[in-house]
Amino acid sequence: MKKWSKISLSFLLITILMFSLIACNKDTGKEQEKLEKVRIAEVTRSIFYAPQYVALTQGFFKEEGLDVTLTTTPGGDKTMTALISGGADVALVGSETSIYVYAQGSNDPVINFAQLTQTDGTFLVAREKIDNFSWDQLKGTTFLGQRKGGMPQMVGEFVLKKHGIDPHQDLNLIQNIDFANIANAFASGTGDFVQLFEPTASIFEKEGKGHIVASFGKESGHVPYTTFMAKDSYMKENKYIIEKFTRAVYKAQQWVETHSAEEIAKAVEEFFPDTDPEIMTTVVERYKSQGSFATDPILDEEEWNNLKNIMKEAGELPKDVEYKTLVNTDVANKVMKK
């Protein structure tokens, strides 16, 4: 009898364990089924957006129950088209694009809800090595700038004017080359100076095609250079998704803030398979040292006003849009308090 009791007890325990494992597997399946799909359209693929890639590789989006897919849509116009047409749920692009859409009379404005970068991400690259660079050395040269109407171009002109250079009178300014082809144009011999994003600038320097002489990010101050944004209707219908998304971004920002350039470069290397790891580390360190990566998702009013000043100076501000009209920090504030 005692022997039977022991066998029965053992069988009972095994049965309970099996049902527990089955229940756990079912719960895991349910959790996987609950993952909310979010489609991001990024304006370009750049180490400048390291915190976004960290959120993906370190599992911060998944921790929040989000299944995020990322698509690169080169250029602000293509990115906003994807967002407005419903081809993407969230866009990572310059805040100036939300102003352009609003000025066109959209009845479903695009709202900035989480900032990712807070400075310009481009660098001034000279064809020849310059030991003691000064901005007035650009006068009389050919400057290969960025696409007209985009933040890189506007910041570029803003910085030139800050140093007493009229970009349309004091140098030969080229702005008619497509964003994706600017680096190739310079490598082919066009221009004495060029405005480039990383890692292209550092790659050119390593290959002897050019030399980094200045940072537009250091010169222009804090601006909402790249932010996550969504249509107002999407934000209202998916408040919980926006909150989860913003929390994941904030986790990534804090991770980037507390980890070394080498660790960050390692974390995002899968998004840049053709980039030398050493160059990636150099680029991350360069962006970290000048404070390009925002440490929280808040886009503040001072940054918004600086953006409008830069746009106005470039003659590209179509309408003076108030901060609260296109910026929503409620979710970011809520996430940070928790």
pLDDT at 27: 45
User: In the chain, where are the structural domains located?
Assistant: 36-119+223-337, 122-220
pLDDT at 22: 47
pLDDT at 240: 96
Contacts of 136 (CB under 8 A, 6+ apart): 163, 164, 165
Structure tokens at 214: 């200045």
Using one digit for the tens of pLDDT, what is the confidence trace for 70-79? Answer: 999 988 899 9
Quick one: how far is CA 333 from the chain centroid? Answer: 20
Instruction: Identify the residue whose tokens are 């490598």.
Output: 187
Range 115-137 average pLDDT: 95
In contact, 211 and 198? CB cutoff 8 Å:
no
pLDDT band at 179 (very low <50, low <70, confident <90, very high): confident
pLDDT at 7: 41
pLDDT band at 33 (very low <50, low <70, confident <90, very high): low
pLDDT higher than threshold 60 for residue 263: yes
Instruction: Identify the residue whose tokens are 């995002």.
Output: 268
The pTM for the full model equals 0.85
Structure tokens at 185: 């144009």
Using one digit for the tens of pLDDT, what is the confidence trace for 146-175? Answer: 888 788 889 999 999 999 999 999 999 998
pLDDT at 26: 45
Please state, in angstroms and rounded to a whole number, the distance separating the CA atoms of residues 189 and 186: 5
pLDDT higher than threshold 50 for residue 100: yes
Half-sphere exposure of 248 toward its Cβ, with a 13 Å CA cutoff?
25
Please state, in angstroms and rounded to a whole number, the distance separating the CA atoms of residues 90 and 70: 10
Range 179-185 average pLDDT: 89
pLDDT at 28: 43
Contacts of 66 (CB under 8 A, 6+ apart): 35, 36, 37, 38, 241, 244, 245, 248
7 C-beta neighbours (distance < 10 Å), count: 10
pLDDT at 21: 44
Range 282-295 average pLDDT: 96
What is the pLDDT of the chain when averaged over all its residues? 90
Which CATH number is 122-220's, of 3.60.15.10, 3.40.50.720, 3.30.70.360, 3.40.190.10? 3.40.190.10
Range 18-34 average pLDDT: 49
Which CATH number is 36-119+223-337's, of 1.10.10.10, 3.30.70.20, 3.90.550.10, 3.40.190.10? 3.40.190.10
Three-state SS for 265?
A: helix
pLDDT band at 18 (very low <50, low <70, confident <90, very high): very low
pLDDT higher than threshold 90 for residue 11: no
Higher per-residue confidence, 11 vs 85: 85
pLDDT higher than threshold 50 for residue 310: yes
Element at 194 (helix H, strand E): strand 193-197
- The amino acid at 334: K
pLDDT at 210: 97
Range 208-214 average pLDDT: 96
**Do 122-220 and 36-119+223-337 fall under one CATH topology?**
yes
User: Could you give the percent of the chain with pLDDT greater than 90?
Assistant: 80
- Of these ranges, 7-21, 24-38, 182-196, the one predicted with the greatest mean pLDDT is 182-196
Higher per-residue confidence, 2 vs 152: 152
Helix %, strand %, coil % for the chain, to 5? Answer: 55, 15, 30
